[in-house]
Structure 1
């Protein structure tokens, strides 16, 4: 029997996945000791196979995942499958300066010690999957980004904020069923400064869907949206797999003129509008 085990940051997604797979949700306890140390336990766990669903959105979430994996092995699980809807540190796939760590490799090695199999949803850099042992499997969630879009988009343009996200924009367009593809050129000037060069697409009077894998601070996307409004765009929708929306990202995008922000439940929050549970279920039920 398979049981779904939820990290504290992925409870809604875990429940949705359990429903998709018709599997039970295991009881999980999250607590802290008086000194502040975390406790994550699975009291009464009784299944051969455990699927841990845990977005590592914080330091605590990383540690909680490691504790859950260990608890499941201790409880007698014969196989522990770890699903990372959002993998923290995945964007740090190389040492940016001499003496710095490759952070994604460090966390992948730690997670691998307690996992027989790892799945991660639309990582920013797919190369990070090779840091896991065995290699993590990529689950492409871009198709579900079309689900919350309005049915009445006017002559839509699906726009990537840079060339690297064109594949996501194409997938969303193909799933939606119609529209043009284009992208901005993005040039990073420094660690927190980016220059956006407008695309050649004619957007006047048309609806635009800006699609990316992650919205972190919202700075790049809000700059792109402002350019679109300068060109008399009709409506602008922002969509992404991972709605991290750090700091004031949500209000920053709203102030720039975004009609709506759609994300998935890889990071559960105010922008969650689509679930990756069905695509995860396809990968897990194919065993």
Structure 2
């Protein structure tokens, strides 16, 4: 069968709505019907993963869309087994599109006799036959160096900047971007520079993991609309405490922009009962029913950005161009008509 002239998508079970949204967006750009290839990704009775691809993929440029979110181990195994199935079916190139890269928090040895799990996962993905990785907002930028294959790390900040300019139009001079910890200052500074706002930092000190002893605000937030920016939110404990502290210190209102909404345990309940006016997350992780029902959680799409990135990779053109406002704004034109 002759090689097609379009990229081909295949989806695991981790976030099928996002995969379908990416396919629809690519269909709009390409002027033809792009859809995930026909395949089944199922479980045997003992929960072993089974994959069968029903379409010919010989010589094709394949893109697997699969975040390694909860359950991380199951979704990671699905990703690797799909890659193995494609490799054994003679796909020309296999790119893993991992909107949320699990195990990224274990990027270094924080204590003696602990693993660097992010490096182990990088090795596993490479050995499974994956030749390129496309992801978004890695928890630690150095994880790109754990791979011996190309890694394209997209950023949610340009999309967040578009969303902020749209929803806070007319009040941009009252916004202060806040980093929830010292380690996230670079991320917060980048967003602050994009929207031309001030910057503040919440300095937190822990007595033990998961327990914050003291929090201090560095910067002037009196009367400001504070926007906390972070790469992920797990149990939301620190996020909600930071929001309460900012209000106590004189902030007019507090919002949060989070790249990956992990939302484990009591996270949603904490957010809905907190002083956060809104929490904006991307759809890199498929939202649960409680997340979608939460009054102050809003989801922004990443499909336009990932669809364009996949197209650029397939065409051999620049992916880093998507970091710029001028390139990304037209892609989100229908969602954020900033001049309307």
TM (norm. structure 2) is 0.77
Equivalent runs, 1:54-93 vs 2, <5 Å = 54-57=66-69, 58-93=72-107
Change (3 A) 1:200 1:263: same
Q: Which residue of 2 aligns with 1:10?
A: 15
Report the equivalent of 2:110.
Answer: 96
Q: TM-score, with normalisation over the residues of structure 1?
A: 0.91
Conserved? CA contact 2:278–2:298, under 8 Å? no
Q: CA deviation at 1:78?
A: 0.8
Q: What residue in structure 2 maps to residue 43 of structure 1?
A: 54
Aligned to 1:151: 168
Larger RCO (alpha carbons 8 Å, 6+ apart): 1
Q: 1:136 & 1:160 partners in 2: Cα distance?
A: 26
Q: How does 1:109-188 map to 2 (within 5 A)?
A: 109-113=123-127, 114-149=129-164, 150-152=167-169, 153=171, 155-175=174-194, 177-188=195-206
The equivalent residue for 2:336 is: none
Post-superposition CA distance 1:66-87 (Å, at most 9, x none): 1111111233311100111111
Q: 1:25 to 1:162 in 2, by over 3 A?
A: same
Task: Flag the 1:189–1:282 CA change in 2: closer, same or farther, 3 A.
Answer: farther
1: CA distance, partners of 2:192 / 2:307: 23
Distance 1:233 1:134, change over 3 A: same
Q: Which runs of 5+ in 2 are unaligned?
A: 1-5, 28-33, 292-296, 317-340
Query: 8 Å contact 1:143–1:171 — kept in the other structure?
Result: no
Give the distance between the partners of 1:246 and 1:95, measured in 2 at CA: 24
Residues 148 and 273, structure 1, Cα contact 8 Å, conserved in 2: no
Tell whether the 8 Å contact from 1:27 to 1:45 is kept in structure 2 after alignment. no
User: Residue 276 of structure 2 aligns to a residue in which SS?
Assistant: coil
Segment of structure 1 superposing worse, 59-68 or 70-79:
70-79
Q: Are residues 1:244 and 2:262 paired? A: yes
Contact 1:26 1:45 in 2 (8 A): no
Q: Which residue of 1 aligns with 2:335?
A: none
Paired residue secondary structure (2:217): coil
Judging by fraction of residues, say which structure has more helix. Answer: 2
